[in-house]
Amino acid sequence: MHSFTLLTSLLSLSFTVSTLAAPVLSSKATVSGRAQLPPSASDVLGAIEGLSRDMKAVTSALDVLLTATDATVISDLAQQANDRELNGERHRIILKAATLNTNQESEGNVAESSIKISLHGDGKSPESADSSIFGKLQTIIDAPASGQVVNNLAREIEKTRSSFMLPSIADLMNAALAATGQAELTVERADLGLRGTITR
């Protein structure tokens, strides 16, 4: 394993509320009803870079959200975090596709399942959806003037991301890299906008 130099180059990025950039795909990563060639090594690297950028933007939005007091700003920040999480799903599709029909498929399935539960809930009850990352972000968007409630929700979202979602994203990245014949990388929390080393 070696240093995650691709992601550490993103550490200088500052948080901006901007138009989301679509991931750049080769024709091999096109999704359709027909069988396609798997994503290439460059597709995987592009998806990793795009996903890490989205995850850092979400973390930055949540950090600002903790001290924001204006209801409009709070709602806008929560919407930005929501949109970047959604955009991240597009990058994860590429990473997951890279693991299909390889010896990394099982690891990719486990990682993606954990990520989806964190984002959407387990799909078994409305309560699970409400307590998911997307559910809590929607609560903030709908009621941005709730004061301490907003602060608590933002902290709960970051705890879920730190403890479950981001380590699973690191696993999915490494599974996709291994599936495309590339060396696995050591992912630091800082690479995804957090602090300290991801531990499992």
pLDDT digit string (tens) for 112-133?
A: 999 999 999 998 888 889 999 9
Identify the DSSP state of 37.
Answer: P
Q: Convert 102-130 to b/e letters by CB count within 10 Å (16 or more is b).
A: bebeebbeebbebbbbbbebeeeeeeeee
Return the H-helix or E-strand segment holding 185.
strand 185-186
Is 92 or 183 the better-scoring residue by pLDDT?
92
Residue 122: which domain range? 2-6+40-192
32 found inside a domain? no
107 found inside a domain? yes
28 found inside a domain? no
**How large a percentage of the chain has pLDDT more than 90?**
65
23 found inside a domain? no
Look at the alpha carbons of 120, 124, 125, 127 in this order and tell me if their dihedral is positive or negative.
negative
pLDDT level of residue 8 (50, 70, 90 thresholds): very low
pLDDT digit string (tens) for 10-62?
A: 333 332 333 334 444 444 444 444 457 889 999 999 999 999 999 999 999 99
Is 142 or 184 the better-scoring residue by pLDDT?
142
Name the token pair of 142.
Answer: 């709908």
CA separation for the pair 180, 121 (Å, rounded): 30
33 found inside a domain? no
Pair 82, 20: CB distance under 8 Å: no
Which residue, among 111, 90, 99, has the nearest Cα to 30 in the 3D structure? 90
119 found inside a domain? yes
What is the mean predicted confidence (pLDDT) over 83-106?
A: 96
* 138: Cα separation from own chain's centroid: 17
Has this prediction a pTM greater than 0.85? no
154 found inside a domain? yes
Work out how many domains the chain is built from and give that number.
1
CA separation for the pair 135, 153 (Å, rounded): 10
pLDDT digit string (tens) for 131-162?
A: 999 999 999 999 998 788 999 999 999 999 99
25 found inside a domain? no
* DSSP reduced 3-state for 140: helix
Pair 72, 144: CB distance under 8 Å: yes
